[in-house]
Chains A and B, each alone.
Chain A
Amino acid sequence: MRVQGRGLVDRNSPVTFRFDGIAYEGFAGDTLASALLANDVRLMGRSFKYHRPRGVLTAGSEEPNALVTVGAGVGQEPNMRATVQEIYPGLEAQSQNRWPSLGFDLLSVNDLAAPFLGAGFYYKTFMWPRAFWEKLYEPVIRRAAGLGALSGKPDGDRYERAWAFCDLLVIGAGPAGLMAALTAARAGLDVILADEDARMGGRLLAESHEVDGMPGPDWVDSVLNELQAMDNVRLMSRTTVTGAYDQGTYGALERVGHHLPRAEKRPLETFWRIVARRSILAAGALERPVAFTNNDRPGIMTAGAVRTYLNRYGVSPGKAVTVFGNNDDAHRTARDLIAAGVHVSAVIDARADAAVDVKAPIYKGAVVSGSSGRKQLESITVRSGGREEKIATDCLAMSGGWNPTVHLTCHMNGRPTWREDIQSFVPTPGAIPGMEVAGACNGTMTTAACLREGAEVAARVAADLGKKAKAADLPKAEDDPYRLTALWHVPGKGRAWLDFQNDVTVKDVKQAATENFRSVEHMKRYTTQGMATDQGKNSNVAALAILADATGRGIPETGTTTFRPPYAPVAIAAMGSGATGKGFAPERKTTSHAATVERKAPLIEAGLWYRPSYFPQAGETNWRQSCDREVGYVRNAVGICDVSTLGKIDIQGPDAARLLDFVYTNTFSTLKLGRVRYGLMLREDGHVMDDGTTARLGEHHYVMTTTTAAAGQVMKHLDFVTQALHPEWDVHLISVTEQWAQFAVAGPKSRELLNGLLDTSLSDDDWPFMACGEVSVAGVTGRLFRISFSGEHAYELAVPARFGDSLFRLLVARAEAMGGGAYGMEALNVLRVEKGFITHSEIHGRTTAYDIGMERMISAKKDCIGKTMAARPGLVDPERERLVGLRPAGAAKQITAGAHLFNPGDAPVRVNDQGYVTSVAFSPTLGMNIALGFLKRGPERYGETVKLVDHARGVETLCEVVNPVFFDPEGGRVRG
Chain B
Amino acid sequence: MGDLIAKSACDGLLPLEIGGATLTEIVFDAITSVAPWRGHEQAVSDALKSQMGAAFPAPNRSTGKAKSRAVWSGRGQALVLGPPLEPIAGAAMTDQTDAWACVALEGPAARDVLARLVPIDLRDGSFKRGHAARTQLMHMSIVLMRTGADRYGIMALRSMAGTLVHDLETAMEAVAARG
Contacts and interface: CB of A to CB of B under 8 A. Distances in A.
Interface of A: 158, 160-165, 190, 256, 263-267, 273, 275, 578-579, 582-583, 585-591, 608-609, 650, 652-654, 701, 723, 730, 732, 734-741, 756-757, 777-780, 799-807, 810
B95 A802 contact: no
Contacts of A275: 121
B139 to A, nearest CB: 5
10 contacts: A161-B116, A165-B123, A265-B173, A587-B162, A588-B159, A732-B92, A734-B33, A738-B99, A778-B2, A778-B3
A818 to B, nearest CB: 15
B96 A805 contact: no
Given A653-B37, A739-B95, A778-B4, A801 B158 contact: yes
A962 B93 CA distance: 48
Given A586-B160, A737-B99, A739-B96, 16 more contacts: A163-B116, A163-B118, A265-B173, A275-B121, A578-B116, A579-B139, A588-B157, A653-B35, A723-B75, A734-B74, A734-B92, A778-B2, A779-B3, A779-B4, A800-B98, A805-B7
B94 A578 contact: no
Contact of A810 (B4, B95, B122, B123): B4
Interface stretch (B46-54, B57-65, B144-152, B163-171): B163-171
Given A800-B95, A802-B8, A586 B140 contact: yes
A800 B98 CA distance: 6
Contacts of B96: 734, 736, 739
A738 B9 CA distance: 11
Nearest to B113: A162
B115 interface: yes
A165 B127 CA distance: 12
Contact of A799 (B4, B74, B162): B4
B138 interface: yes
Contacts of A608: 160
A165 B121 contact: yes
Given A778-B2, A778-B4, A806-B5, A587 B123 contact: no
Contacts of A267: 174, 177
B6 A739 contact: no
B68 interface: no
B98 A190 contact: no
A653 B119 CA distance: 34
Contact of B174 (A158, A780, A810): A158
A955 B154 CA distance: 53
A732 B35 contact: yes
A756 B1 CA distance: 8
B38 interface: yes
B24 interface: no
Given A265-B176, A756-B1, A802 B6 contact: yes
B76 interface: yes
Contact of B98 (A163, A579, A652, A739): A739
Nearest to A781: B95
Contacts of B95: 736, 739, 800
Contact of B116 (A160, A756, A801): A160
Interface in B70-124: 74-77, 92-100, 115-116, 118-123
A753 B171 CA distance: 47
B75 A165 contact: no
B177 A163 contact: no
A803 B4 contact: yes
B67 interface: no
Given A578-B170, A586-B140, A738 B5 contact: no
A158 B176 CA distance: 13
A582 to B, nearest CB: 5
A253 to B, nearest CB: 15
Contacts of A590: 159
A775 to B, nearest CB: 13
Chain B contact-residue range equals: 35 or more
A876 B34 CA distance: 44
Given A578-B138, A777-B4, A652 B92 contact: yes
B37 A803 contact: no
Nearest to B122: A165
Contacts of B123: 165, 190
B178 A736 contact: no
B178 A266 contact: yes
Nearest to B160: A586
B76 A732 contact: yes
Contacts of B157: 588, 738
B37 A654 contact: yes
A587 B174 CA distance: 22
B122 to A, nearest CB: 8
A813 to B, nearest CB: 8
A579 B166 CA distance: 12
Contacts of A609: 159
Ranked 7 nearest A-B pairs via Cβ: A652-B92, A266-B177, A801-B98, A732-B92, A738-B99, A732-B35, A588-B159
Contacts of A730: 37-38
B44 to A, nearest CB: 12
Contacts of A266: 174, 177-178
A739 B167 CA distance: 23
Contact of B115 (A162, A586, A736, A806): A162
A723 B170 CA distance: 38
Contact of B97 (A164, A165, A263, A800): A800
A713 to B, nearest CB: 15
Contacts of B6: 802-803, 806
Nearest to A757: B1
Contact of B171 (A160, A587, A734, A803): A160
Contacts of B140: 586
Nearest to A778: B4
A165 B3 CA distance: 51
Contacts of A653: 35, 37, 92
Contact of B160 (A164, A588, A806): A588
A587 B121 contact: no
Given A160-B171, A265-B176, A650 B4 contact: no
A245 to B, nearest CB: 14
Contacts of B166: 582-583
B16 to A, nearest CB: 13
A831 B177 CA distance: 53
Nearest to B119: A163
